[in-house]
Structure 1
């Protein structure tokens, strides 16, 4: 009952804030007219091209992806956007490495009685993107969720020395954490980072689902290499120190804990309740693996709209969207081209529409605008992560990121959720922009989906840049306010399937409103003399 009250109170405060900020937005006639010139037909045309079969799903490094790059560059040139990539070009080179596991074996010493483990069934070892051959032997320790956030009152590592050990971690977060904080601390790259900071030499992810299988990694695992051959971005690698990253199934997880007098059925509720249950285990692990690589060149597209203030034009508001999709894959109903019309040709179309608004405004905002279309989002936010780590402008000059990923334009847009806005002063800008357009602002309706960390805005957050991602709300014209049900049905049929093409369900007027909203959020930030700030004490304020 208390949790329900807090949820309702949060929603009430959010809606109240929306109303209180409404009177603060005053736009010039020129800006209002430019916003009205966003064209649903143009949005449809952009999506139609980018999701055409001839682009073959826009897989990074493919001819189809290059066609998408060329199309976007052509559109931005026509809107007087200037190149802002490497060496005064439109592009930033992204060196993808697809790593495959070769010979890989894991053995247990001092193992629980009657424990026989089988590769591919009980465990899987991930390839190492940097070291072609790895051999490791170390004792095991159980570290709960692998979270170390003492400022939030939770630390799985407190009081336990894991230096030189391989840590077993089960993915999750205490119930008391908010949805976006949970998503952050559960992220694989964050888990690896925390383990390395505490001296661990390996990480084993353990399944808490008795019915789940270990991951199938036969198609390879992606990372990004920098121009010196080091790993720059990866979801499965943090440093040479963590030379083993693996997964084990529920049965093996349970047996290892039982040997240390821990009952998994007791431990899991304790962790969820915010009670760490870390312990040294009796068994040790030996592992050997070999990895092979396929290197692929892809590109981020970056453009700039220069601001009007002599000082503030050196700062940037970023509008981002991912240009890639899944390429050609397993056929579904006879179709193997994963066109990605909604995901994310629609988001790219929205960013092009934002550029068009600026094209039609003679007096540009005080700050400059950076348009960033990234590769590798479907591979784990790789292109955006690389850009945020190695931007083509000074990283401290980027004041905010407004990301657009699959806005789901399948019904009239009446309310929105702004994932991540609650962590910073961007929440005010969202409320102002939404009120101006007559939109309600709602809390995240799907907190367990961890959507905040599953798209490109998270890459900017990790570099200390306030960011957000606008998604649909639940409001419907008939008052039932159950849009989530319709989206769930749509998602089951179209999401990450070849059926996500231009022949699916679209509401291009909703696409227009999304573009207007994201433009206005960014425009308000670009006009404000004060740059956005993290909320005091927020988990991301120290990044």
Structure 2
């Protein structure tokens, strides 16, 4: 194993990242001009590594998407005030419809918009939301209060995610759902909303036109929410603090919302890439490595650099997949279990490629031993720890502990658990269907002073580049930390592929395997 382990190099990672994040891939938008280049690059390399097509005789799994592009001439009326697209708000629809609207829809503040019986919490209790629009705080009640008795305190649960907020408002029969953006609880600034929720938006194609979703969903800036509450004769901060303490629903004094969302709708097909190195003894049992190949494309309305190259997010993860494939291919003895790599599409649009795969698995779930996911690998050099999102959720942590010890590293909780990172990448869809899933990497303490100085400088260079055109490959990146992490993931996969263990979820985890 040592030769394969050592074959994973920072130079090779850099070569792949430089290629995948180059301008010719045009930001790797699903169904965009860079998709075929991306799929060809993966196919060429994994064929070279001796991997076989993972979906019958094909390396591809078609994912039927609907592309919805909302017109930017929207005006949102809240009470007697009008708000502008991008500057104040972003509205859209998940329905496959060219016209959706709110017309004098009564506004109801529903706190965090959560219905969670296990936490004895229901912001919608005794509220008839039919025809009304929910105004919702982002994150969980415990985030800003710091009250550990509320959900999981500052650690975000899935109830804090924007995806859940829209889903629950839809289940409640609402006509619209508007999330109030605040940078700290969202864990990103308004520019991320402006860039990520405008232009082409994708969903999985549904024959019913996705009519179960609210007609209109979107975001407003915090100052818009403050003005809305003022119109209602209420104080935003007062009701926000109340919502942290107990389930809250308040009619906003009969104020109403109106907006017209005209959209261009197009059905399209993108692809997950799947390749397998068959196991020698139990080829029907698979260790599945994932990373998303997509990013958010390009924006012709921008001045200057128009391409969102997505070098860190997530050309690094795809480079990790490629290095893992190369490493497993040079083993003298083929592992007992199969090694499968899955590069998924449309992660940036709500984990859609992995969601489709989890709902339509090529490998039976009860033959999927574990999932190891890579998203935005370490670009800051070697570190002394391994940060684990969702530390303690499964026995995969035990494998990671052993692998990390070989590198003289220890496990720590992932930074900023309030951001809910365990629920924000593709492993989450495996977890939801019971497959133990690991999401780890990076760390906090540089291994030496030289690395510390580099790390401090590079953090300043890339600060603010998340989902921005400046997320580009830089030749002075130190990818030895990424190399460390990919070697860890190889070690874990190799161990699982040469034994008969089936890792389990911890008893305290919200996920369990059903087999």
1:253 to 194, 213, 225: 225
1:131 to 97, 104, 107: 97
Moved more, 531-540 or 351-360: 531-540
**Is 2:310 the partner of 1:345?**
no
1:393 to 339, 358, 363: 363
The answer (yes or no) to whether the contact 2:377–2:442 under 8 Å persists in 1 is yes
**Is 2:408 the partner of 1:438?**
yes
1:235 alignment partner in structure 2 = none
The answer (yes or no) to whether the contact 2:94–2:203 under 8 Å persists in 1 is no
2:29 alignment partner in structure 1 = 59
1:529 alignment partner in structure 2 = 500
**Is 2:486 the partner of 1:515?**
yes
The answer (yes or no) to whether the contact 1:123–1:214 under 8 Å persists in 2 is no
- Number of aligned residue pairs: 497
1:481-500 matches, within 5 Å, as 485-486=456-457, 488-492=459-463, 495-500=466-471
SS at match of 1:427: helix
1:220 alignment partner in structure 2 = 199
The answer (yes or no) to whether the contact 1:213–1:249 under 8 Å persists in 2 is no
SS at match of 2:476: coil
**1:474 Cα shift?**
1.0
1:242 alignment partner in structure 2 = 214
1:146 alignment partner in structure 2 = 113
1:285-434 matches, within 5 Å, as 285=257, 288-310=260-282, 313-329=283-299, 335-434=305-404
**Is 2:241 the partner of 1:269?**
yes
1:455 alignment partner in structure 2 = 425
1:17 alignment partner in structure 2 = none
Moved more, 181-190 or 128-137: 128-137
SS at match of 1:473: coil
1:204 alignment partner in structure 2 = 178
SS at match of 2:382: coil
The answer (yes or no) to whether the contact 2:390–2:414 under 8 Å persists in 1 is no
SS at match of 2:68: strand
TM-score for both structures, normalised by structure 2: 0.83
1:471 to 424, 441, 444: 441
Moved more, 401-410 or 131-140: 131-140
Q: 1-side partners of 2:336 and 2:29: how far apart?
A: 37
Q: CA, structure 1 residues 249+507, in 2 after alignment: closer, same or farther (shift >3 Å)?
A: closer
Q: CA, structure 1 residues 413+241, in 2 after alignment: closer, same or farther (shift >3 Å)?
A: closer
Q: CA, structure 1 residues 471+126, in 2 after alignment: closer, same or farther (shift >3 Å)?
A: same
Deviations 1:376-418 (A, max 9, x none): 2333333223222223223443342211122123312432212
**1:170 Cα shift?**
1.5
Q: CA, structure 1 residues 541+195, in 2 after alignment: closer, same or farther (shift >3 Å)?
A: farther
Q: CA, structure 1 residues 212+318, in 2 after alignment: closer, same or farther (shift >3 Å)?
A: closer
The answer (yes or no) to whether the contact 1:180–1:450 under 8 Å persists in 2 is no
SS at match of 2:463: helix
SS at match of 2:348: helix
1:100 alignment partner in structure 2 = 69
Which stretches in structure 1 are left out of the alignment for 5+ residues?
Answer: 1-30, 232-237
Moved more, 466-475 or 127-136: 127-136
Q: 2-side partners of 1:75 and 1:377: how far apart?
A: 22
SS at match of 1:342: helix
SS at match of 2:505: coil
Q: CA, structure 1 residues 333+141, in 2 after alignment: closer, same or farther (shift >3 Å)?
A: closer
The answer (yes or no) to whether the contact 2:345–2:353 under 8 Å persists in 1 is yes
**1:204 Cα shift?**
2.1
Moved more, 512-521 or 332-341: 332-341
Q: 2-side partners of 1:187 and 1:366: how far apart?
A: 39
SS at match of 2:138: coil
Deviations 1:330-353 (A, max 9, x none): 799954444433332222121112
Q: 2-side partners of 1:493 and 1:528: how far apart?
A: 43
1:5 alignment partner in structure 2 = none
Q: 2-side partners of 1:213 and 1:359: how far apart?
A: 42
Q: 2-side partners of 1:342 and 1:331: how far apart?
A: 23
Q: CA, structure 1 residues 490+452, in 2 after alignment: closer, same or farther (shift >3 Å)?
A: farther
Q: 1-side partners of 2:501 and 2:47: how far apart?
A: 30
2:141 alignment partner in structure 1 = 174
